[in-house]
Amino acid sequence: MSNSPAVIELARAAANLEADGAEFVGTHLSVEDDDDRLHTHLFESSLPGYTQWRWAVTVAQLEDGEATICDVVLIPGPDALLAPEWIPWEKRVLPGDLGIGDVLPTRADDPRLVPGYAGLPADEELDLVALWEFGLGRARVLSAEGRDAVARRWYESDRGPRAPISEAAPARCASCAFFLPIAG
């Protein structure tokens, strides 16, 4: 019988074992019939940090047979404190969360990036700098959309061509030795 004192005590002993002590298993709350011969006993939990959680002990018992413990888990009760719904990192990161050297991965379908040319030819006479600028050796490179976004971000930034320091410069950016054209 699923709610006999012997089965309840067997379930309590299993919960005590899983909880690492009888002090973390409280009152027997109820028994739920999962199937004809499969029942889950619920006990209060007094495990620190798990207020309103319950120990659920699933017991199988054949007709006139010995009861067997199938599973012991800690489950939230109706008023249990639960973690908030998971939010992907790209929606969680806020301005100020990142520091120098922090690098975030990009999505596989990021429209700012397109496949590069990861394999380099074995010819030692090649100009590796030119190949690197072309995108050889990189798995992904900026797409046209990505280049436009980078250029727009630079152009509108406090270091772009309309910044006070740029306006005060004696020559245009294209004549400067530090000018780097945006490459693929």
pLDDT in tens, 98-147: 888 787 888 889 998 888 765 555 666 666 666 666 656 677 878 889 88
pTM: 0.51
Give residue 18's pLDDT: 93
Whether the CB-CB separation of 41 and 4 falls below 8 Å is answered with no
Q: How confident is the model at residue 184 (pLDDT cuts 50, 70, 90)?
A: very low
Question: Which CA distances in Å does 40 have to 10, 28, 77, 128, 159?
Answer: 12, 11, 14, 67, 66
Return the domain boundaries, the chain: 5-76, 116-142, 143-179
Whether the CB-CB separation of 40 and 58 falls below 8 Å is answered with yes
Question: Which CA distances in Å does 93 have to 11, 120, 128, 170?
Answer: 45, 36, 36, 40
